[in-house]
A = this chain, B = another copy of it.
Amino acid sequence: MSRRRPDLALCPIARATRLVGDAWTPLLLRNVCFGQRRFDELQRALGVPRASLTRRLARLVEDGLLERRLYQDRPPRHEYHLTEKGRAFFDVLAAMWRFGEDWLFEERAPVTLADRRSGRPVRPIVVDEATRAPLELGELRVRRARADA
């Protein structure tokens, strides 16, 4: 974002947007989430120019979503692993997955998330943590957090 306005800086969505305000970053995180950890395989899978990939990986390391781990000494080679923060970001990707599945294919989406062991399809849904009921936009408002809450 070229301009930061005070109210934007307060908003959790605005902050998260900085992480996804680039078409490749969610795809890069998606691929790491599903097990691609090396520069070359990410580069091949995404078809993104090497310089862009280097920049995006460095940004995600700096932002604390990925960490570099040495997996080979000579020559030194690194893998990118999700941090706890990076794993938490998977929920954003899962919500994008569900929206894409429901709304962005003419017919059924050609891929589905499934439980690794049972193969049962898994459909992500966003709910209220306390009630586990789906969110209803009309029933929500934004309020200042209370200092004592």
Contact = CB atoms under 8 A, between A and B. Distances in A.
Interface string A43-59: 00111100000000000
B27 A14 contact: yes
Interface of A: 1, 3, 5, 7-8, 10-18, 20-24, 26-27, 30, 33-34, 45-48, 64, 82, 85, 87-105, 108-117, 119-130, 132, 135, 137-145, 149
Contact of A100 (B13, B47, B122, B126): B13
B17 A1 contact: no
Contacts of A138: 116
A120 B141 CA distance: 10
A13 B93 contact: yes
Contacts of A110: 10, 144-145
Contact of A137 (B33, B45, B102, B139): B33
Contact of A126 (B30, B126, B149): B126
B119 A127 contact: no
Contact of A122 (B18, B30, B82, B130): B130
Name the residue among A95, A110, A138 with the largest chain B CB count within 10 angstroms.
Answer: A95
